[in-house]
């Protein structure tokens, strides 16, 4: 158990819909990262927040957005969903601001299925 929690575990929805994925980082960690993993794309970094502020952006679509709240939990919002958005979404956290040497602790993931 990494100490990172994600809800829900599974999510099934239809194209065009909007969903929200939630992540609680390990106690004391200030950085939260979101990743998307699909069968044909591998693990893709989406976005990182550090202490409430956006710190780094990866291959995140405009239909996706995220935020980190004062209690440090984070939400990833996916809208106008398409079939290709079906994937595992992981949240990770780290203690510091997210340098290339920080250890990331990953949550169990949310499996999103878009029908």
Partner 1 sequence: LAKTTQPISMDSYEGQEVNITCSHNNIATNDYITWYQQFPSQGPRFIIQGYKTKVTNEVASLFIPADRKSSTLSLPRVSLSDTAVYYCLVGDRGSTLGRLYFGRGTQLTVWP
List the interface residues with partner 1, window 12-51 (CB under 8 A).
Answer: 31, 33, 35, 42-45, 47-48
Q: For residues 82 and 62, is the Cβ–Cβ distance under 8 A? A: no
Burial class (CB in 10 A: 0-12, 13-18, 19+), 107: buried
| By the rule CB under 8 A, 55 interacts with partner 1 | yes
List the interface residues with partner 1, window 82-101 (CB under 8 A).
Answer: 88, 90, 92, 94, 97-101
Residue selected from 20, 56, 73, 75 as contacting partner 1 according to rule CB under 8 A? 56
Is the CB of 8 or the CB of 16 nearer to partner 1? 8
Burial class (CB in 10 A: 0-12, 13-18, 19+), 69: exposed
């Amino acid at each position: 158990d990494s100490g990172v929690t994600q809800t829900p575990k599974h999510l099934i929805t239809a194209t065009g819909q909007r969903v929200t994925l939630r992540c609680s980082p390990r106690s004391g960690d200030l950085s939260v990262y979101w990743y998307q993993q699909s069968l044909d794309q591998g693990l893709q970094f989406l976005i990182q927040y550090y202490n409430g502020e956006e710190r780094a952006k990866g291959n995140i679509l405009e239909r996706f957005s995220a935020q980190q709240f004062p209690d440090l939990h984070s939400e990833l919002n996916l809208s106008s969903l398409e079939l290709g958005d079906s994937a595992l979404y992981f949240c990770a956290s780290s203690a510091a601001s997210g340098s290339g040497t920080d250890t990331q602790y990953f949550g169990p993931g949310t499996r999103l299925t878009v029908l």
